[in-house]
Amino acid sequence: MRIPGAKWDKTSCHRVAANQARLLIGCLAYNLLQMVRDTAFWG
């Protein structure tokens, strides 16, 4: 199913493995940031 006019900037590569790696790195970075924020606020 295609959505007309939608731009998939974060999954711009045609290879699934590259898109999966990019998504995994983004998730890891988000979780790391959350851990740092929790540690900074709660000691």
Q: Would you state the pLDDT for residue 5? A: 57
- pTM of whole model > 0.85? no
CB 26 within 8 A of CB 33: no
Q: Would you state the pLDDT for residue 32? A: 95
Q: Would you state the pLDDT for residue 4? A: 60
Q: What do you get for the CA distance between the two ends of the chain, in Å?
A: 47
Both structure tokens of 16: 């699934």
Q: What angle do CA 30, 34, 36 make, to 5 degrees?
A: 115
Q: Would you state the pLDDT for residue 33? A: 93
pLDDT tens for 1-43 read 555 655 555 566 788 898 889 889 999 999 999 999 999 887 6
Both structure tokens of 11: 């999954």
Residues 6+ apart with CB under 8 A from 10: 22, 23, 26
